[in-house]
Chains A and B, each alone.
Chain A
Amino acid sequence: MKRLGFSVFFIALTFILMAGSPLMAQSDMMLLDSSKGRAGKKRPPVPFPHNLHVEKGWSCKDCHHLYEKGENILDESTLEEGNKEIQCSACHGPKSRLHLERAYHGQCLGCHKKPLKDREKAPPRYCGGCHVRK
């Protein structure tokens, strides 16, 4: 977990996730590459449809955050490609209690585990729903 590869990988991963601001055209499908995670404890990379989440009505600050006294004080105009300060790994480093793996799992599962009324197109709920094996 504390290996160098781990941190390098997550920084790279954050780059991929944060590439492009929502103001610009987003590449719809991002690949969250978790395949270089903890030794023996890796799952296939997650294809993440960013646009789909925007289309579903989520605002930027529903996911992107910078908390101060329990309040999300993130300035949306900072959500730009290449801004290292707003990358997930800027706070969720490998040594932080909420390291990137936990941050991602918490952020995604926070919604994906909730019971949904609209059952027609249910989002993935279990591990393999996101970490799809080819």
Chain B
Amino acid sequence: MVDFVQGPLISIAFIVFILGLLFQWIQFFRLTRKKEWGHPPLPREIKPEKKTAGKIVASCLTSLKGTLWKTDPVLTVVTTVFHVLLIGAPLFLLGHNILLYQSWGWSLFSLPEALSDGLTLIVLVCGAYFLGRRLLVARVRAITTLYDYVVLLIAVAPFLTGFFAYRQWFHYETVMMLHILSGNIMLITIPFTKLGHMLFFFLYRFFLGGEYGFLRGARTW
């Protein structure tokens, strides 16, 4: 069991993760190939004015008001920090990079361990904030199902077990096993659950954004 989890399962998890995302990417274009409607881009009525750097920054700040920043600035900050660290903290963790070097002969830059530890704690605090929101805020609770809690657990579990493992709390070998297992589960579930927004965020953000922005009504996907 232990040998499977820390051996073949890691390879399987990465293969499922990559092929799964590839599959979803292809599916996205396959299912939307038949266009229900379409018309050429609307002509631009206003000639785009020449923008100075200051104006671009100002317009960016103004457009922030049309986003979550206006309705819930705390959530905006928490979710941004959470997502950046979700990718960044494990990628630049010393232990991971040493193992990477052992296996493949190369590794990434790694942060000091105390810093990584702190970043992990921040991820956990953000996770606790999401959990708290789902439990305590009525309008969020109303649309929360068990599935959402499970997805949150899948995302946070590798960080929780990693945090314990670094401190060597509880039975170390067991915690490490759970850490590797939870990481594998996360990789495998990303393409097939809500966690798929790792891929779909970019598709939605740029295709829909493009459709309503630069291309003025024309669909490119």
Interface residues of A (CB under 8 A from B): 39-43, 102, 105-106, 109, 113, 115-116, 125-129, 132-133
Task: Please give, as numbers and ranges, the residues of chain A lying within 8 Å of B172 by CB-CB distance.
Answer: 126, 128-129
Kindly state the separation between the CA atoms of A129 and B175 in the bound complex, as whole angstroms.
12
- Is A39 within 8 A of B112, CB to CB? yes
> Within the complex, which residue of B3, B94, B110, B176 is in contact with A128, where a contact is CB–CB below 8 Å?
B176
B48 to chain A, nearest CB (A): 49
Shortest CB–CB separation between residue B72 and chain A, in angstroms?
36
CB distance from B192 to the nearest CB of A (A): 29
Contact B102 A105 (CB under 8 A): yes
Would you call the interface of chain B mostly helix, strand, loop, or mixed? helix
Known: A39-B112, A126-B173, A129-B173. A115 touches B165 (CB 8 A): no
Interface size class of B (residues with CB under 8 A): 20 to 34
Contact partner, A41, options B112, B166, B173, Cβ 8 Å: B112
A100, chain B: closest CB distance, angstroms = 13
What does DSSP make chain A's interface, helix, strand, loop or mixed?
A: loop
Docked pose: A102 CA to B102 CA in angstroms: 8
Q: Which chain A residues border B165 with CB–CB below 8 Å? A: 126, 128
Chain B contacts for A126, CB-based, 8 A: 165, 172-173, 176
Residues in B lying within 8 Å of A, measured CB to CB: 2-3, 6-7, 94-95, 98, 101-102, 110-115, 165-168, 172-173, 176
A125 touches B115 (CB 8 A): no
The reply to whether A40 and B115 contact each other, CB–CB distance below 8 Å, is: yes
Q: Using Cβ atoms and an 8 Å threshold, which residues of chain B touch A125?
A: 2, 6, 173, 176
Residues of chain A with a CB closer than 8 A to B115's CB: 40
Contact residues in B for A129 (Cβ distance below 8 Å): 172-173
Of A41, A42, A115, the contact of B7 (CB 8 Å cutoff): A115
Contacts of B111 in A (CB 8 A): 40
Closest-by-CB residue of A relative to B7 is: A115
Q: Write the chain A residue with the least CB distance to B97.
A: A41
Task: With CB as the reference atom, state the residue of chain B lying closest to A117.
Answer: B3
Q: How far is the CB of B116 from chain A (nearest CB, A)?
A: 9
Cα distance A39–B94 in the bound complex, in angstroms: 12
Q: Which residues of A contact B110 (CB under 8 A)?
A: 41
Give, as a whole number of angstroms, the nearest-CB distance from B93 to chain A. 11
Tell me, in angstroms, the Cα distance from A113 to B2 when the chains sit together: 11
